[in-house]
Amino acid sequence: MSSSPEVGRHSENDLSGCIDTPSLQLVWSEAPWDSVLFGAPVLQIGALTLRDAAAEHDIAAFVEARDRAGAMLVSCRLRHEQLAESMLLEQIGFRFIEMLYQPELGLATLTPSSHGLAVSRAGADDMAEILEAAGSAFNNERFHMDPRLSSEIGDIRYQNWVRSSLDHPVQRLYALRDGTTLVAFFVTEMRADGTCYWHLTAVAPGLQGRGYGRRAWEAMLEQARNDGAARVQTCIVARNHRVLNLYARLGFRFPPPLMTLHWVRPA
């Protein structure tokens, strides 16, 4: 917290800022990768704490900065118990989009499986197949489920993410094959605390429902352990019940969920 209360301390272009008063803490910044996609500023709220009812007055500084910046979209994730904060956001036009789980599994007792899939770091020769799969594999995600946003933008967003992961400094793109057939891809990141974080996980849309899900996930758990990870963590939207059941069968632990809210500029 700042030494003296400040309302609306922000950058010259309003793309980042902080409100820190006795009633409200709110920190926001730009999501530049999404700004490029939308052709207009996209912001994300990184911290939000409501301290008393006067927050309704103090949050006006954020609304003014958001509008001066010409933001197209603002996203925020809150802990599931932050209902007062979610109601405050709803008062300025945000809408609930999803509940998000972040399951985790320790790998110390992982036993080998007979998945029968080949796992390899993806290369340029794999990209055409992986990008085709990424363009239609994420129909449950927030960019597809918010009816105010174009599903096509969501498809391009995940394709861009996969494309950038090929040469990313910390993220790794894996291809999983059954013989010569691409059955799944994963974008992962090895973190300093021993966590292998799965950013994107998908079975190729044409092969879903044919038993590849569990085999692919077991293969990538083994890959994480071989890479030196002590645990695996990821995130899943609550509406993706088929994948939630898969993680439960694999033994993942589910901490309390997060809420995702969006503000979208009216057309």
Coil vs helix vs strand at 75: strand
Global pTM reads 0.90
Between CA 199 and CA 259 the distance in angstroms is: 18
Write out the two tokens for 89: 């956001």
Q: Residue 211 has what pLDDT?
A: 84
Q: Residue 10 has what pLDDT?
A: 67
Between CA 200 and CA 190 the distance in angstroms is: 14
Please tell me what DSSP assigns to residue 257.
P
Q: What is the pLDDT along the chain (267 residues), one digit of tens a residue?
A: 333 467 667 666 899 999 999 999 999 999 999 999 999 999 999 999 999 989 999 999 999 999 999 999 999 999 999 999 999 999 999 999 999 999 999 999 888 888 889 999 999 999 999 999 999 989 889 999 999 999 899 999 999 999 999 999 999 999 999 999 999 999 999 999 999 999 999 999 888 878 899 999 999 999 999 999 999 999 999 999 889 999 999 999 999 999 999 999 998
